[in-house]
Structure 1
């Protein structure tokens, strides 16, 4: 037996392990917040840790991802490094990522009394708010990284982890996290009892919360075990939990809640996009609702990029040009450590402007973001290229399906944390969404959480949302020839 001492901030703890144990396996058990963006497939190089002591030498993939300087400094990849004896691993104390709880909802009647909790389980983050249901006052909130992130950055990796690690493990991880967050909220607000909770999320997250096997969500014909729109078999803080209805396997309850919060069925031609690891979109026209989902991947949230990171302190969040100078701004004005989604959009727009890349995305040499020490390489450009093409092609296909031109859209609402600091000019410049939408675009915050709070405080809206989800039409982009054509076209970095 050996012992791994884990040092994080001012805390340390020792765990016992067999020789040959992967450091990532030990960290995933001892530090649930430790992230493995590529689920330990040795492709992203993001699980860097400082290790001293008896460990096995690095293999070829680890040497390639790290390089000689990092290895000489004692940096290793947790997913590749194995114990050979006693060792100490030091984790960098992370600042809190910028997780959005703020949301905008239309006026609605508060019909319920007592206290309640609204939760949005995102693939990357979890947001929770405790309400006085009669007044609508937020009494406490908790924002955190999803405790399942040690099993990969996207829903497919989580589904695969259910096969290797066990469904109970992933389900238990998120249930335990919500119980802890709820207890903290109640303690902060001085509340000892809640009446009810509403928990929303995409289809995969709700399957995992409920302990339903999500395997069928990953294979054609993408069957779901439940569309929800029902009471959970779980309780939260000892109170019943309502789960809003999903539209389909990849158009989940989160977008249904965001539709409710955006009030997009109030009339006219309205468009909504929740841009995250999944890009979920909805178009309302003449009282009809058409929805779709596209796999954007986690690049907009910093995962998969060489210097990518969440919008935590030190993340480059804005980039612009003043004359020949490349300027930048970081979250909380901390020294630059990497770049988050909004920063990479700005950087690419500047790269186009300065012709560091052409419209095909070709990058002759790594691009330095001013004096930040953060660089963007060709693979980063390609990751964003794939993600932005999926979003733009999805929006164009959705509009075309209903015979609507982008110029006919009266309001374009963007939900989700990525949109909170997005520069719409940069988004249009690189072709993230059609340029005709620029002046009609507004950010509604965490629409999923906003809609969940509405369902918490007015039960009659639940029937409305369930009917809305049942009547909505899901457009399958994977079966759409038009989407594939637009996907190829939208690869170009240009306005559409």
Structure 2
């Protein structure tokens, strides 16, 4: 048995370890917030720590992702570095993300009294709001990155982690995180108790929260153990928790809540896209609700991008071309340390404009000596691999939207209102998004942003009990279009790989 000295947030602790343990394995146990975006598959290079002592030699993966400067500074990849004896690890304090929690909802009657929580368990982020139910006033809120992120950035990684680390481990971790955030809200507002809460999320997140094995969600025919639309086995702050109904394995309660918040069933033919790690979409036309989901992946939220990060202080959030010069803006106007999703879209749009990237995604910087595209004087660059990651994600979103329209024999011009929901969707420049082909250009002038629609819908269910029955009926009547078996989607997916307007 050896000793690992862990330096974290100006605190030091000694941890007994065994030879052969990876640093990531140790951090999963002792630093639950430590992120492993690729679930420890050595493909993202994001799990960087400073380490010294008796450690395994640098692996090929580490040599690929780390610069000479990194190596000289003692930087290692936690997933690929094992303990051979006494060692020390320093985990850098991470900036908190500026997670978008605002939302817009249509006018509705508030019928309930007392206090309650609206909670959205996102694959990447968790939002908790304490609300006065008579008025809808938000008394306190907490926003955090999902505590399960040390088990991977996407739902497939989390499902696999339920097999390896244990379902109870992931279930308790998210439940404890939500409880902690709720207690902080109560303390801030000076409230002793709540009447009940609404917890929404995609089907995988709700299964894990409830302690239901999500394994069947990852394999055909994608069966669910529960569609929910019921009260949880758990409580939050000692009060009952209602779980909205899902439509299917990949069209969850979060999209039903977003549909409610978007008022999608009123006002003619409408299209909704909730853009996040899971791209969920809904089309309402002729009294029919057609939904689908596509695996966009976490690239829009920074994971898998070389300099990618959440929308935290120092993240490049906007990029523009002014007088042939590349300009950029960062969150809180802090020095640039990385780039978030909205900045990536802008950067790609500028690269198309300057013809330093062609519509196939091939990068050819004007500086012949450069391999990457530099964002002005920020010191941050976009790599060819970054472009390919965004290419896959945006193709999945645009292909899904076109498949929905094709299923109903419609064109983008037939849509009267295009609603974008989700934290990423709230910050992006829709002109840049249309220019690179994230969604059909015919929808650009019809675009409205509603923010975190899942959280907004959860708040509506908290304030008006009758809406719960409405969403349950909505979910039961909705049709789910399986993109995995759709020939149209595969064709659109390939076509939408081009960085062009569709």
Instruction: State TM-score, norm by structure 1.
Output: 0.98
Counterpart in the other structure of 2:493: 487
Bigger mean CA offset, 275-284 vs 16-25: 16-25
Counterpart in the other structure of 1:399: 405
Matched, 1:382 2:357: no
1:369-418 CA deviation, whole Å, 9 max, x = no partner?
11111111111111111110110011011111112211121111111110
Counterpart in the other structure of 1:288: 288
Deviation at residue 69 of structure 1 after TM alignment: 2.8
Query: Could you say what secondary structure the match of 2:147 adopts?
Result: coil
1:423-448 CA deviation, whole Å, 9 max, x = no partner?
11100110000111111111101100
Counterpart in the other structure of 1:227: 227
Residue 429 (structure 2) aligned to one of 423, 427, 431? 423
Deviation at residue 167 of structure 1 after TM alignment: 0.5
Counterpart in the other structure of 2:88: 88
Bigger mean CA offset, 277-286 vs 321-330: 321-330
Deviation at residue 336 of structure 1 after TM alignment: 1.1
Matched, 1:320 2:320: yes
1:13-67 CA deviation, whole Å, 9 max, x = no partner?
2222112221111111111111000000111100011112222221222222214
1:62-104 CA deviation, whole Å, 9 max, x = no partner?
2222143311210000111112222222222211102121111
Distance 2:322 2:132 in 1: 48
Distance 1:248 1:53 in 2: 49
Distance 2:295 2:473 in 1: 26
Query: Could you say what secondary structure the match of 2:112 adopts?
Result: coil
Distance 1:64 1:445 in 2: 38
Counterpart in the other structure of 1:165: 165
Bigger mean CA offset, 122-131 vs 70-79: 70-79
Matched, 1:333 2:333: yes
Distance 1:232 1:125 in 2: 21
Q: Could you say what the CA RMSD is over the residues aligned between the two structures, in angstroms?
A: 1.0
Distance 1:105 1:12 in 2: 46
1:124-173 CA deviation, whole Å, 9 max, x = no partner?
00000001111111111110000000000000000000111111111011
Query: Could you say what secondary structure the match of 2:142 adopts?
Result: strand
Deviation at residue 495 of structure 1 after TM alignment: 0.5
Q: How does 1:41-52 map to 2 (within 5 A)?
A: 41-52=41-52
Distance 1:415 1:13 in 2: 42
Counterpart in the other structure of 1:255: 255
1:259-308 CA deviation, whole Å, 9 max, x = no partner?
00010101301111000011000011122111000110110001011111
Distance 1:58 1:130 in 2: 47
Deviation at residue 323 of structure 1 after TM alignment: 2.1
Query: Could you say what secondary structure the match of 1:273 adopts?
Result: strand
Instruction: State TM-score, norm by structure 2.
Output: 0.97
Query: Could you say what secondary structure the match of 1:264 adopts?
Result: coil
Residue 460 (structure 2) aligned to one of 454, 467, 489? 454
Contact 1:100–1:127 at 8 Å: present in 2 too?
no
Q: How does 1:151-300 map to 2 (within 5 A)?
A: 151-300=151-300
Counterpart in the other structure of 2:367: none
Query: Could you say what secondary structure the match of 2:93 adopts?
Result: coil
Query: Could you say what secondary structure the match of 1:57 adopts?
Result: coil
Contact 1:199–1:452 at 8 Å: present in 2 too?
yes
1:198-230 CA deviation, whole Å, 9 max, x = no partner?
000000000000000000000010000000000
Counterpart in the other structure of 1:346: 346
Deviation at residue 252 of structure 1 after TM alignment: 0.3
Deviation at residue 6 of structure 1 after TM alignment: 2.0
Query: Could you say what secondary structure the match of 1:166 adopts?
Result: helix
Counterpart in the other structure of 1:439: 445
Matched, 1:464 2:470: yes
Distance 1:101 1:477 in 2: 29
Counterpart in the other structure of 2:304: 304
Deviation at residue 324 of structure 1 after TM alignment: 2.4
Counterpart in the other structure of 2:25: 25
Distance 1:445 1:4 in 2: 43
Query: Could you say what secondary structure the match of 1:398 adopts?
Result: helix
Distance 2:100 2:126 in 1: 9
Contact 1:302–1:340 at 8 Å: present in 2 too?
yes
Query: Could you say what secondary structure the match of 1:317 adopts?
Result: strand
Residue 411 (structure 1) aligned to one of 414, 417, 429? 417
Query: Could you say what secondary structure the match of 1:266 adopts?
Result: coil
The number of equivalent residue pairs is 496
Contact 1:200–1:244 at 8 Å: present in 2 too?
yes
Query: Could you say what secondary structure the match of 1:104 adopts?
Result: coil
Contact 1:101–1:127 at 8 Å: present in 2 too?
yes
Query: Could you say what secondary structure the match of 1:44 adopts?
Result: coil
